[in-house]
Amino acid sequence: MPLSGVKVIEVGMNLAGPLVGEIFAGLGAEVIKIERPEGGDDARGWGPPFLQGTSPIFQAMNRDKKSITIDFKDPAAMAHLRELIAQADVFVQNLRPGVAEEIGLGPASLLEVNPKLVYCSIAAFGHQGPLQLKPGYEILLQAFAGLMSTTGEDGGPPLRVGAPVVDFGTGMWTTIAALAALRKRDQTGKGCVIETSLFETALFWVCNALHQYLVDGTVPPRHPTGSPRQVAFGAFETKNGLLIIGVANDRLFAKFADVIGHAEWASDPRYRTTADRMEHRDFLGGEIKATLLGKTKEEWMALLEAAGVPCAPILSIPEVLAQPQTQAMDIFRSVSGLDIRMLGLPFSFDGERATFEKKAPTLGEHNHEVGVTAAQKPGR
């Protein structure tokens, strides 16, 4: 794998930090996860359900890693951890703000030990400003950065996005930055400090709304499944349920109009461009809704797909798993020691998907293998 020979030390909890280690592990790096002797990563207990004693999300975020336990208050254990970090390429931590510095794992301290180290620090609200020491979780940052204000039914309460997009996004941004830093280190021989945060990620996810407001001062309305800039874009009722339709440009609108029996709309000056359609969106939207109620979602899908108009049903989780397309992607793989197939990384190299060979480690499973003579036994 591309990162074979790279060593990562992860002091990660919950989701954002562990995802960085998970991606590195999937790419072939050796990832050593540092956990507290008492309980380890909090995500171990995020159940039910449980899979071999740990939560499913912990299993998903920690495959192919090694777990060792370190008592951060034990000077001998910390000295040994610093020895491990001195041999590492990447260090990742998402401890509560200020803790890394308090226990001797801050960037200045570790770069002194290992000048080639790529040090990744993940915060909640950022590494500067009045809230830099404020802790936070996914839901807090979705609220604070405005993401919830853009989600939900128009006129209803703001809603959280169902997936942990802020945690996962922060883990991905951190990984991207770390890979770029490793590339630079190959050229300069020097490591660096990477700073990311849940807040910055959440802000990036609402960049469209932020920029729209900065341009014209309009507060973007909530669009639960639609778009504030397109008319025929979102969830539409049919004779037997909702269908998602994505008409995102003038060419697709002409095809869409023809399919639903209104080919004249494509040449109507009220509807020729996106801006024209937005100006008349109330009337046009009403016409579209009334027309789509005339057939079932299956009938509309057949017609729209034949014309090349993007559309999709709204599937439940069991339906997603049963989809031939899901199965064809071969993204669910067997993991040694588990009786379920688990989701792999969403990319491939020359047609070969990165895979995980081992399940998430038990707490302190690799203390002896890594040679952590000063580590504390789990549960001490």
3-state secondary structure of 92: strand
Own/partner pairs, 176-179, CB within 8 angstroms, 24+ separation: 177/120, 178/20, 178/24, 178/90, 178/92, 178/118, 178/120
Q: Is 64 a catalytic residue?
A: no
48 upstream amide cis, omega within 30 of 0 = yes
DSSP helix, strand, coil percent of the chain (3-state; round to 5):
40, 15, 45
41, 64, 89, 167: which one is catalytic? 167
CA distances 161 to 143, 152, 158, 247, 315, Å, are 10, 9, 10, 23, 17
| Buried/exposed code over 152-187 (b: 16+ C-beta within 10 A; e: otherwise) | beeeeeebbbeebbbbbbbbbbbbebbbebbeebee
d(CA 169, CA 209): 18
Q: Are 356 and 63 in contact (CB under 8 A)?
A: yes
Give catalytic residue positions: 167
